[in-house]
Amino acid sequence: MTFKAQAQSIYATALLAAYGVFLCSFFFLQEYGDVYRFYARVIAIPSLIAFFYSIRRVSGHPLFRLITLYMAYLLLSSLWSEPLDRYRLGQMAAICVYLISFFTTTHYLVNRNPAHFDLMLRACTLAAGAAAIASIFIFYMSNPFPETRMEGTGALTNINEYANVYGVFALLALGFAADSQKAITRGLFLLAMVAFLGVAWFGQSRTAFASILIALGVLSGLSLGRGKSYLPAGLALVVVTLLLAFPEVVQQAFERGQSFRFIIWSEVWQGIQARPIFGHGLLSQLAIDTGARNRPMSVAHNAYLQVFWTGGIIGLLLFLLLLGSAFRFALLRGQQQGDYRMLCILIFAACAMMTGVDILIARPRDQWILFWLPLAMLMAFGNAANVSPGRPRGRNAA
């Protein structure tokens, strides 16, 4: 092996390790700002080589073009924001650059060594499973079990965000369990999946839990053709066990009601009607008085309404076009490679965004794993020419 080849191998291995740590950093760092700084220092700067390697390849993918169009329009909408804050505009532009580097880094790592990327995802899934189990034990060591609503451990701001991130790993875990040849490996991934469900259950994240079940049900159903009939049966057993063993959680979840979401959605809709075409702009902030908080609510608690309020009907249509295209490529991959994980993650994301994930262009938080990661992986699996029927890729390419 030449010196150049050795240097490339060392660089790719180090970048892959940093990428994997980033995916798990939400569980062991204390503030989400720490995750942002970790990405900026440990991945964004070292990944410049990967950026120049992959940008020409990624830029030809229809998803990338739609993403850049969506970002460009939202950044442009800052011009009619009130007030026009140039500092915040610079922050948003920087986040867009980081997201693009996230896409090119994912593309580089997947295409450099698909087997190593797959191994990294498996390791991250098991690490996330261990973090989920630990967070459950840590919280209930000092709080009544199970009636107290669980709080997550790590850098995210609330339990719903943890449920969103763990939900993605639950779908990856089920996919890896279905592909595992050894019983012990399959058992570890299924145990991790149960832990992820447990976080959403004990955290009383109703939308996330229902969305995870829908996506897991679809993925397990699609696995029936491969002789994995135990998957839907096992999933049903887990849900029934949770319902029978911990009915207090269900009771408290219903007693909480819908919080202030209907009030918020009503106010957001009125704001949409005031500026339906171009929206209020990326830098404008909601300020909704629910009558029961010390400060106004600044988020719509619905990604679709948030995009509609921010970018108007133009922004919403661009977002729906992007989401629909992502579904198309994910379905195409499933039909060609038998890998429906990305499709089911998108189903989960589309459902979860109905009551949360308000700002998609944001510092690394749950939306980076819930929404941007599956899009990055779909682009990494190949450009449009590479996902056509005539250009199959290996089933375990990622």
Domain boundary residue, one of 229, 259, 289: 259
User: What pLDDT sits at residue 298?
Assistant: 78
Whether residues 221 and 324 fall in one domain: no
Whether residues 129 and 200 fall in one domain: yes
- Look at residue 393 and tell me if it is in a domain: no
Domain that holds residue 266: 47-112+260-384
What's the whole-model pTM score?
A: 0.92
Span 367-390, mean pLDDT?
Answer: 75
Whether residues 134 and 250 fall in one domain: yes
Whether residues 72 and 83 fall in one domain: yes
| Model pLDDT for residues 177-224, shown as the tens digit of each residue | 998 889 999 999 999 999 999 999 999 999 999 999 999 999 998 876
Q: Which tokens belong to 30?
A: 């204390």
User: What pLDDT sits at residue 361?
Assistant: 83
Whether residues 342 and 295 fall in one domain: yes
User: What pLDDT sits at residue 258?
Assistant: 63
Band (386; pLDDT cuts 50, 70, 90): very low
Overall domain count for the chain: 2
Return the higher-pLDDT residue of 365 and 317.
317
> Is 289's pLDDT higher than 90?
no
Whether residues 52 and 133 fall in one domain: no
Span 56-71, mean pLDDT?
Answer: 95
Whether residues 268 and 242 fall in one domain: no
User: What pLDDT sits at residue 115?
Assistant: 94
